[in-house]
Amino acid sequence: MNLIGIDVGGTKTSICLGTEKGELIGSERFPSAEATTQEEYFASLKTSVLNVLRNGGVAPEQVDGVGISAPGPLDVKRGVLIAPPNNPGWRDVPFVSIVKSWLSAPVWMNHDGKASVLAEWHFGRFRGTRNLIYLTFSTGMGAGIILNGQLVQGETDSAGEVGHHILDPQGPLCGCGMRGCWESYVGGRNVALRLQERIRNESIQTALTDLVGGAIDKISMVEFEKAARQGDTFALAEWERFTDRVAQGIGNLIMIFNPDAIVLGTIAIHGGDFVMDPIRQKIPRYTWDLPRQHCQVVPSILGRRIGDLGALAVAISGLAAR
Ligand SMILES: [Zn+2]
């Protein structure tokens, strides 16, 4: 089967040609920032789709299905991006029908978290697992949830918005407008902003400042992990708080869903045991032993391919449901 996957990210959009087995034949990406208007964006996207097909020796009419993975909120049934977080001027973009107008193949779209759990389920180490959760664990925290072998979509496509379950109503203000959301504690962007704020306001001496040559607003998760690995006192104490909040949310998910496995994305993939060990150590504070002992909590082995594979998996699920 010839499948096209379109992974709409915050900074770039990736287009791939692949098969139902998860083989990637070719891919291409373009930075989202370059496209200022919707017209420019979709012109770039169309060019990339046609390039990928031409380079792969596949004619547009030979495409069997297209899967789109995109950040929410979106309306899956209508195929509409409601309000893409990184394109503030965009509202109700009919993404699916625009792509459909270029190809004769059916097109499906879903959230990046849901696409990722489908990728793990079709191509990852937990292939076919009955109860599986994927956590994006990147600039934000989203999830895809498979229960009893079925993707949980929710009545308004909001199932899996775990980043906005509240850990503490007195907590920090979240981008969504509520307080103390899980994402406000563990989303990479929020973690970095909070570190910057504390270092600035409390004049904290830390290796983090040196790692960015004094430009405090450049501190990101990368420097945070580096400074903690170096044993910097402030960074290590913050690392404890950070991993504890990650464990708290994961504990909640284990208690609610009793999954076989929870697979973690980006930050866990990059950080490996340095991220995972303290999280695993703290999870018992937040769950019963029985469901915890049954649940593996591990980084994804799909690495950077997860975006492309997730988009392909959206197409595969769409075709299977027809
Ligand atoms: Zn929130």
**Digit-coded pLDDT (tens) for 104-162:** 999 999 999 999 999 999 999 999 899 999 999 998 999 999 999 999 999 999 999 99
Q: Token pair for residue 263?
A: 């697979």
* pLDDT score at 85: 66
Mean pLDDT confidence for 37-65:
95
pLDDT the model gives residue 35 = 62
pLDDT surpasses 80 at 196: yes
> Over the chain, what is the mean pLDDT?
95
Q: Is residue 118 part of a domain?
A: no
**Is position 54 within any domain?**
yes
Q: Is 56 part of a structural domain of the chain?
A: yes
Confidence band (pLDDT; 50, 70, 90) for 92?
very high
In terms of domains, do 170 and 45 share one? no
The pLDDT value recorded for residue 34 is 61
The alpha carbon dihedral of 194, 87, 7, 97 has a sign of: positive
pLDDT at 103 exceeding the cut of 80: yes
- Which CATH number goes with the domain that contains 166? 3.30.420.40
Asked whether residue 130 is assigned to any structural domain, the reply reads: yes
Looking at the domain assignment, is residue 251 inside a domain?
A: yes
240 and 274 in a common domain: yes
Residues of the domain holding 7:
3-111+314-321
For every residue of 91-124, DSSP letters joined together read -SB-HHHHHHTT-SS-EEEEEHHHHHHHHHHHHS
The reply to whether 54 and 166 lie within a common domain is no
Question: How far is residue 306's CA from residue 124's CA, in Å, rounded to a whole number?
Answer: 9
Res. 86: pLDDT tops 80: no
- What average pLDDT does this structure show over 77-98? 87
Please tell me whether residues 9 and 93 are part of one structural domain: yes
State mean pLDDT over 213-229.
97
- Do residues 211 and 246 both lie within one domain? yes
Single out the residue of 149, 157, 236 nearest to residue 195, CA to CA: 236
Q: Is the peptide bond before 73 cis (omega within 30 degrees of 0)?
A: yes
If asked whether residues 145 and 242 sit together in one domain, one would say yes
Domain co-membership, 179 together with 245: yes
Beta strands in the chain (DSSP E): 3-8, 12-18, 24-31, 65-70, 74-75, 80-81, 107-111, 132-135, 143-147, 150-151, 261-264, 296-299
Distance 98 CA to ligand 1 centre (A): 30
In a domain, 116, yes or no: no
Residue 33 has pLDDT above 80, yes or no: no
Query: Each residue of 255-271: pLDDT tens digit?
Result: 999 999 999 999 999 99
Q: 140 C-alpha to center of ligand 1: Å?
A: 10
C-alpha 150 – ligand 1 centre gap (Å): 26
Distance 165 CA to ligand 1 centre (A): 7
How many angstroms does the Cα of residue 316 sit away from the middle of ligand 1?
31
Q: Is there a single domain that holds both residue 152 and residue 255?
A: yes
> What is the 8-class DSSP label of residue 205?
-
Threshold 0.85, pTM exceeds: yes
Q: Are residues 90 and 173 in the same domain?
A: no
Cα of 57 from ligand 1 centre, angstroms: 44
The alpha carbon of 61 and the centre of ligand 1 are apart by a number of angstroms equal to 42
Q: How far is the CA of 168 from the centre of ligand 1 (A)?
A: 11
Residues 187 and 289 both lie in one domain: yes
271 with 293, same domain: the answer is: yes
> For the chain, what is the domain count?
2
Statement: residue 36 has pLDDT above 80? no
| Strand duo 3-8 + 12-18: pairing | antiparallel
Domain for residue 120, yes or no?
no
Contact 261, 129 (CB under 8 A): yes
Same domain, yes or no: 81 and 170: no
> Alpha-carbon distance 95 to 42, whole Å?
9
Among residues of the chain, what percentage have pLDDT more than 90?
89
**Nearest one of 179, 147, 146 to 164, comparing CA atoms:** 179
What pLDDT score was predicted for residue 71?
87
> Could you tell me if residue 73 is inside a domain?
yes
Q: What is the mean pLDDT of residues 211-235?
A: 97
Instruction: Return the sign of the alpha-carbon dihedral for residues 267, 268, 272, 277.
Output: positive
Q: What is the pLDDT of residue 72?
A: 81
Q: Determine the pLDDT at residue 88.
A: 72
- What residues pack around ion ligand 1 (CB closer than 5 A)? 164, 174, 176, 178, 181
